Structure 1
């Protein structure tokens, strides 16, 4: 009985062992099928290469190369030579040899080209790793088709290299990262490499006024994008060039600045043309101003003082230099329309009648009519016609409100009122600067732009400005 019991026990153990083995085999088969399913569904080409022969290839590899999986599997030793581009063949085979021999200097990730079955040349990026496969070392290679990315890179590289404008990237510390040929040529260097290696401190070596670089970087920190920032640079030979910079800030995920990148345009010719025009206009403007003041001796110096004050207010408010200059020119001839007003009315020592005052008020429109067809670099005629407007619409000649008035016009209006009240007039003695400041403070935000009024008061009360 005991013998039979042992036989039954042994038989049961054998059956259990066989069952476990079968289950393990089934699980392994399921696992193998699962991973094969994953690799076959992947958009990344995958191969196993062992002893120079391809042991496994997925569907994505077939799609990339244009050969069927069966064709690829039937390739002989080093079969990949069939698709490797001749120019890249030596490098790829060198890396494959290093990997097979265990060379530590092997490159695991690189790009190369293949010639697909259709004859199309494709760019490939591959990743490889050596591991055991069926008990022996093998290369597991994954590859993706990066042809479209390479084409896009080539397109933008052509734009970068052939653009007429200078293109650059620079560090916050003041070194160039990349520069195109146009920028190198613009600044008198033979190549991008020369300017990158020689210019190690942009603020000191390029900027004629290094503080402009500091102002520029402050703007970029605040705004992330700055357009048409005009600055004077030194060229390699020490001569100067005017450039307009349009630049953006590139930050990391923490918001820290990585670098600046932008475009530089040579505006030297434009700047010199404007300067010549300004010089030519300067004499004309002074002559016009003198004509007005000759007819109205009591306001002699009024336009000059208004111009000086308007320029100081605009500077205090942070207006760009070009706009400040335009305002200065407008202010120095803002009363040109008085040429159309009878001289005796301008110098009348008593109070004007309503009819006379209404005639005086036409000078703003008359000034516009005189200047409107002259091609100034700034909206001079508009500033002239608007200098008696008030932000609540109570001014003349058109009753415009604040939003419709140029900022320069609002500045000119305040400067005109302050100077007029502080100075002598034919019909009254000078009121002095304090009553003038009280007037604009009392009516700021009503008749006068509040920011302009505040800037004007700061100049006189805190910064020592005086009418001279």
Structure 2
């Protein structure tokens, strides 16, 4: 049976093997002085400094950390809080090159003695992977946009009276989103939703879409099928945004007076609420065969009347700010 002393020796040997075999850099610091008491082989190879160049020096005296004005402050915070973390920290290698690392350091009690352990992970490959991912995402968006614009052109051939409607709705919706401080992902969602929200009109007879004068109640019922048709078309693809749902809901209203489902309030997704406001602005300020364009101030007055009743309050407020205070145009 192992004695306590033998168990301690076994434990120390295991820790030493882990320390030396780790695929992250590890520094052990004196809690009181910041002097480096040990550095593992991975860190030595990563930065190119010898074991002797690390040992006995304070953290901010080693070449890798010496150019970091933050080093002393970091050590003080570590003593005070017991933990610091940097997602991106540039360390200088012995050859002068900068290496981007993730730096995590914490203090702990080791047999009655406070020590500090710093874990240093090389994230250069992660950063490169993120750049590749961002480039692929940009390329994917460009390809999607080309396909979307082709679909819009086909729709405009059938409905020449609404040429540019989808693009304008997208412009207005994105501007509202920016005014609301929405994320880049949400802004992309609004952009593509605006461009495709009326795609279901491809299923509406062209005679109705281009009819001069007011359409009949039965014809309007056919027009009202375009959100459902749009949903059926867009739901066939796996989009990174809820485009099909926006197409389905962009004519819904907060009080349940919209169509096709009569949804209310929180049943309508945020993008659809914003597209609904943008759609109203664009449609009412544009000429149609059955009515002339309405001035922008009349449209703003309409939105104010419906604020919080039929239209989302935040979207309306952002829209009013854009047109009345920031002179937004489309």
Question: Which residue in 2 is equivalent to 1:120?
Answer: 7
1:339 aligns with 2:202: yes
Question: 2:251 maps to what in 1?
Answer: 388
After superposition, the Cα gap between the structure-2 partners of 1:195 and 1:394, relative to the gap in structure 1 and judged at 3 Å, is farther
Deviation at 1:404, TM superposition (A): 2.2
**Counterpart check, 1:368 vs 2:231:** yes
Partner of 1:176: none
Distance 1:300 1:270, change over 3 A: same
Q: 2 CA distance for matches of 1:118 and 1:238?
A: 45
Match of 2:307 in 1: 444
Q: Are 1:271 and 2:110 matched, yes or no?
A: no
Aligned partners of 2:304 and 2:316 also within 8 Å: yes
Q: Which one has more relative contact order, counting CA pairs under 8 Å at least 6 apart?
A: 2
What displacement does 1:389 show? 1.1
Q: What secondary structure, in the 3-state scheme, does the structure 1 residue paired with 2:251 have?
A: coil
Change (3 A) 1:343 1:322: same
CA-CA distance at 1:438 after TM superposition: 1.0
Alignment of 1:39-438 (within 5 A): 119-121=6-8, 162=23, 196-198=65-67, 266=127, 267-438=130-301
Query: In structure 1, how many angstroms separate the alpha carbons of the residues matched to 2:224 and 2:63?
Result: 63
Q: Distance in 1 between matches of 2:214 and 2:64?
A: 70
Distance 1:311 1:117, change over 3 A: closer
C-alpha RMSD over aligned residues: 4.3
Larger radius of gyration: 1
**Distance change in 2, residues 1:279/1:357 (3 Å):** same
Q: 1:296 to 1:442 in 2, by over 3 A?
A: same
1:394 alignment partner, SS class: coil
TM superposition shift of 1:326: 1.9
Asked whether the 8 Å contact 1:310–1:328 carries over to 2, the reply is: yes
Aligned to 2:30: none
**Could you tell me which residue of structure 2 aligns to residue 32 of structure 1?**
none
Secondary structure of residue in 2 paired with 1:121: helix
Q: Secondary structure of the residue that 1:381 maps to in structure 2?
A: helix
State the distance in 2 between where 1:199 and 1:465 align. Answer: 45
**Offset at 1:376?**
2.0
> Matched residue pairs, number?
263
Q: Distance in 2 between matches of 1:378 and 1:181?
A: 46
C-alpha displacement of 1:380? 1.4
Residue 274 of structure 1: how far off its partner (Å): 1.4
Separation in 1, partners of 2:202, 2:218:
18
Change (3 A) 1:118 1:313: same
| Residues 269, 120 of structure 1: alpha-carbon distance in 2 compared, 3 angstrom cutoff | same
Structure having the higher strand fraction is 1
Work out whether residues 20 and 41 of structure 2, in 8 Å CA contact, stay in contact via their aligned partners in 1: no
Unaligned runs of 5+ in 1: 1-114, 124-146, 164-179, 202-228, 248-260
